[in-house]
A and B are shown apart, each in its own frame.
Chain A
Amino acid sequence: MEIKKGIAVSPGIAIAKALIIDSEDYRIPRRSISPSQRMTEIQRARNAFKDAVGELTRLEVAQDKTDEGKIKDIFAVHLRFLRDRSLRKKITDLVHSESVTAEYAVSATMREIASHFTKEKDPYMRERAADIYDIERRVLRQLLGKKREDVEHLTEEVAVVARELSPTETAGFDRKFVKGLATDAGGRTSHTAIVARSLGIPAVVALENLTDDITGADVVIIDGNRGIVIVKPDEQTIRQYQEYEREFVALEHKLDAIREKPAVTRDGIRITLLGNIEFPEEAESVLQKGGEGIGLYRTEFLYLNTKREPTEEDHYQAYAETIGVFKHRPVIIRTVDLGADKYTQSKRFAPEPNPFLGLRSIRFCLQNLMMFKTQLHAILRASVLGKVKIMFPLITNIQEVMQSKLILRDVMEDLDEESVAYDKNVQIGIMIETPSAALTAATLARDVDFFSIGTNDLTQYTLAVDRGNELVSTLYSAADPAVLRLIRTVIQDAHKAQIDLNVCGEMASEPEYIVLLLGMGVRTISLAPPMIPEIKQIIRSVTMEDCNNVARKILGMNSERQISNYLRDATRKILPEVF
């Protein structure tokens, strides 16, 4: 049993067999075989080695004769490994003694050897592990061939363990079988975390070297509440966690019971709770959890989830499906937010030294008008189906607002010419997620119908902290006085201009911040669907007077630590049952 500490990013507990995904998506389940099958598996392993040697020999021969020898040496070394009798014996012995498949024996043995290297102090030696993984893959390719299994064709419950997962990979998971996620890399607000939360899968990230210490099919516990992963837990630990799991599910049910009740403070102030979604399929879960509409529809996942560029019709279908769930309740569609950490499959993104300060989001759209207009065309077409609002992300100045609106008007004219119906009064809003937008909110408010404060990016850009970088992620906090002052400015300017305002960042789904946000004047909150009941519970147990007092106190404070501590104590005092 080994306990690993990471960052909890999505609540819940999963107890399942580990499915390790490396960059090639190999899935090596531990599958037991009957003793009579052992000879067959041993023969399969031998053949795989023989075929791998054959393949490698052909590759070696094909190598350029003038090559300086580096690549040739690599081939030669790998060939020696494949021919190494003691290595083969180790593998066939494992098949024999444990009655497991050839695939599993190869993977387990090679990973054990690799872990030997990763423990070395010398960095050069440590990197030799990569050679072992390479050899492992070559042999596995022979064994799995067309039978290669991947995450898309799961048939049993697993906990996915990976070095790193792209949002696309995470989004493709089948919720029925993927019970938990654990990754070596990542931070609290990485997109993997966001997607895991919205899918309701427990997840822990920033585990550093988990993948080195785990073998496929090891039982693993992912504790998304405490940020702990336990590899090969003992019986007692499993029982203990099964108990936690039951308690957690019971609590969830209890919270679900307040679904039908409105989000009203004890002194009668009505709060609107909306859901953040990536896919139309999630719209239903927003309703189920008691959400009253969509406050943030992240449409870029249309691009991330498919192999080809989505067509206008693809956009339309996705929007129509989502709007259909909510009918006349609001659905705020954010135009694509690509670039920085989210890319399309197409090669239109040139590598940038500073992607978060580069061509991303609305900037990217304004330079790729065809793509932008395609999306706007689809949104407008879908706008007659319900109450659609359009939102532009990452606005930094008034010109971007004007330009975006101009393009929207162009598309409206196109629709007029095509005699296609659309909502002529569709509301237009912007994300306030850069310090420049927050500081000029009073000006921006004149030209839009609503603001949505994106606290993740606003925090990142205000504090100059990469939210995904574990080395500095402790500096990332929405409780920083600089961030809170910007948020207050935006709220005040929105009120003065009498436009709608909502908060849609991670901050809005953290229980500790709710009291503060309400006290600062926020009345609409958009959050990950699984968090809606808990946040509603909190709203229903506070008075606005409490909230105002907390906000007043905090806005006078000058340090992040002071604010965090005060916030924790205050919330605990007001809501003893939640913490």
Chain B
Amino acid sequence: MDGRGLTVQIGEDRLERVVCQMEVEIKNADGLHMRPAMQFVDIASTFECDIIISNSENSVDGKSIMQMSMLAATCGTKLKIRAEGADAQQAVDALRKLVEEKMFDEPPPKKNKTKNVKT
């Protein structure tokens, strides 16, 4: 549940390709909407490696806000982060921290779910 199952696969090792993979869970109440998507992309973009994010249906570029926001990942959704490149390990760590520890600086869902319904 915590996404701790870190798996490091050292690939075929041509040109130091490191592949890192990890599953994370969206924990903030409003999910991966625009602002969290922006934070995610901003952090992802600081790394050299390629970053691919997948849900159960699609795989998208973790450095594109358009593609990331289109995942429309709501609270509780599990996403797979796959990084490939020299700094893959650091990238995956940083992104996991953002999603699961910092939770995009947003609150978790309230116990008795009071959604902000439009009036």
Are A84 and B66 in touch, CB under 8 angstroms? yes
* Interface pick from B2-10, B16-24, B34-42, B91-99: B34-42
Q: Name which of B42, B61, B69, B116 has the most chain A CB atoms within 10 A of its CB.
A: B69
Residue numbers in A under 8 Å from B67 (CB-CB): 86
Q: Is A76 an interface residue (CB 8 A)?
A: yes
Who on chain B is nearest to A74 by CB?
A: B34
Set B69, B117, B118: member contacting A128, Cβ < 8 A? B69
Q: Is the CB of B74 within 8 A of A77?
A: no
Interface string of B27-51 (1 = CB under 8 A from A): 0001101110110011000000000
Which residues of chain B are within 8 angstroms of A131 by Cβ–Cβ distance?
34
* Distance between B85 CB and nearest chain A CB, rounded to angstroms: 18
- Contact between B30 and A81 (Cβ–Cβ < 8 Å)? no
Most buried by A among B34, B67, B74: B34
Contact yes or no, A80 B31, CB < 8 A: no
Instruction: Determine if A125 and B38 form an interchain contact, defined as CB atoms under 8 angstroms apart.
Output: no
Interface contact B66-A81, CB-CB below 8 Å: yes
Provide the residues of chain A in CB contact with B69, threshold 8 Å. 128
Q: Which residues of B contact A76 (CB under 8 A)?
A: 35, 38
Can you name the residue of chain B whose Cβ is closest to the Cβ of A119? B72
Contact B41 A123 (CB under 8 A): no
Query: Which of chain B's residues has its CB closest to A131's CB?
Result: B34
Partner of B72, one of A74, A81, A116: A116
CB-CB under 8 A from A87, the residues of chain B are: 64, 66
What residues of chain A lie closer than 8 Å to B115, measured between beta carbons? 123-124
For the A-B complex, the count of residue pairs with Cβ-Cβ distances under 8 Å equals 55
Instruction: Determine whether the beta carbon of B65 is less than 8 Å from that of A128.
Output: no
B64-A125 in contact (CB<8A)? no
The yes or no answer to A93 lying at the interface (CB within 8 A) is no
Q: Indicate with 1 or 0, residue by residue over B63-91, a CB within 8 angstroms of chain A CB atoms.
A: 01111011010100000000000000000
Contact A125 B74 (CB under 8 A): yes
Cβ of B102 to closest chain A Cβ, rounded Å? 16
A125 contacts across to B, CB distance below 8 A: 31, 33, 72, 74
Q: A123-B115, A123-B118 are in contact. Are A77 and B30 (CB under 8 A)?
A: no
User: Within the complex, what minimum Cβ distance (angstroms) separates A176 from chain B?
Assistant: 40
Q: Is the CB of A77 within 8 A of B38?
A: yes
Q: Is A392 an interface residue (CB 8 A)?
A: no
> What is the bound-complex CA distance between A123 and B33, given in angstroms?
11
Given A76-B38, A77-B34: A116 and B70 within 8 A (CB)?
Answer: yes
A122 CA / B66 CA spacing, docked (Å): 18
| Contact assessment for B64 and A85 in the assembled complex, using a CB-CB cutoff below 8 Å | yes
Contacts of B66 in A (CB 8 A): 81, 84, 86-87, 90, 113
- Is A341 close to B, CB under 8 A? no
A232 smallest CB distance to B (angstroms): 23
Q: How far is the CB of A336 from chain B (nearest CB, A)?
A: 33
B66, chain A: closest CB distance, angstroms: 4
Q: B34 near A113 (CB under 8 angstroms)?
A: no
| CB of A73 within 8 Å of the partner chain | yes
Contact yes or no, B70 A124, CB < 8 A: no
Question: In the complex, are the beta carbons of A124 and B64 less than 8 A apart?
Answer: no
A74 to B37, CA, bound (A): 12
Please give me the residue from chain A that is nearest to B67 by CB atom: A86
Complex Cα spacing A371 to B66, Å: 53
Interface residues of A (CB under 8 A from B): 73-74, 76-77, 80-81, 84-87, 90, 113, 116-117, 120, 122-125, 128, 131
Instruction: Identify 7 residue pairs between A and B in the complex whose beta-carbon atoms are under 8 Å apart, listed by A's number.
Output: A73-B35, A73-B38, A77-B35, A77-B37, A84-B64, A86-B67, A125-B74
* Closest 10 A/B residue pairs (Cβ): A80-B65, A86-B64, A87-B66, A77-B34, A125-B72, A84-B66, A122-B74, A77-B38, A73-B35, A120-B72
